[in-house]
């Protein structure tokens, strides 16, 4: 009887909570991506003025509910001196979103180095990985931007990181954090991946 009542309580009053890191270089579009996510998945969230978003120093937190799953996002600062703090959050994370600014070709090598160091951590083994290739306008205009790297370009540049990605769920996806195009698809993909990843069970949180 207790087991039945416990299961009923969890179904009625609790959500499975998954923690997702949002990483990448400073000014790559991480916080803008988070704001678009909260706006699209939270009915009563009005969002901040995207043009007023500044470089994250420390941590931004956001939460959304998708069905019975609750995603808590940790948007971490991407400055070189702050990247050393990323691994403090790895053990509690269920997924990683690594944002790349595909209009910033000059820093692509720097972004790759940070990505490779992150993905090499054994603590993140098996954790789903979403790589939004963010551009500063609608991704439908991607082909009209002369300095914009395509998804194919990103995959080629990061190709030698593939062995370290391993067999985990991984998706490299074009998106525009400013217009929000591509954000829904990426988040819905991440939700499916964290739910089916039996190696990182969710935390139980009361519905509020």
Annotated binding site: 24-31, 56, 78
Q: Which residues are annotated as a binding site for GTP?
A: 24-31, 78
Instruction: Dig out the tokens for 125 from the structure.
Output: 């083994």
Distance CA 100, CA 27 (A): 10
Distance CA 131, CA 95 (A): 11
Q: Which residues are annotated as a binding site for Mg(2+)?
A: 31, 56
Distance CA 63, CA 37 (A): 9
Distance CA 206, CA 208 (A): 6
Which 8-state DSSP code applies to residue 120? T
Q: Which residues pair with 129 in a beta bridge?
A: 96, 170
């Amino acid at each position: 009887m207790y087991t039945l009542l416990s299961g009923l309580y969890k179904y009625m009053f609790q959500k499975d909570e998954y923690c997702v890191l949002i990483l990448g270089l400073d000014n790559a579009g991480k916080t803008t991506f988070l704001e678009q996510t909260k706006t699209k998945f939270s009915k009563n969230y009005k969002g901040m003025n995207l043009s007023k978003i500044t470089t994250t120093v420390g941590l931004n937190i956001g939460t959304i509910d998708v069905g019975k799953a609750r995603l808590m996002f940790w948007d971490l600062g991407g400055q070189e001196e702050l990247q050393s703090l990323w691994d403090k959050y790895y053990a509690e994370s269920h997924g990683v979103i690594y944002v790349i600014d595909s209009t910033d070709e000059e820093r692509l090598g720097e972004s790759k180095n940070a990505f490779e160091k992150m993905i090499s951590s054994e603590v993140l083994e098996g954790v789903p990985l979403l790589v939004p290739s963010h551009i500063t306008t609608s991704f439908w205009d991607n082909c009209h931007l002369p300095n914009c790297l395509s998804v194919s370009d990103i995959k080629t540049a990061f190709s030698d990181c593939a062995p370290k990605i391993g067999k985990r769920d991984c998706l490299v996806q074009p998106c525009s954090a400013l217009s929000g195009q591509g954000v829904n698809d990426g988040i819905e993909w991440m939700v499916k991946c964290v739910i089916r990843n039996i190696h990182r069970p969710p935390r139980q949180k009361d519905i509020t």
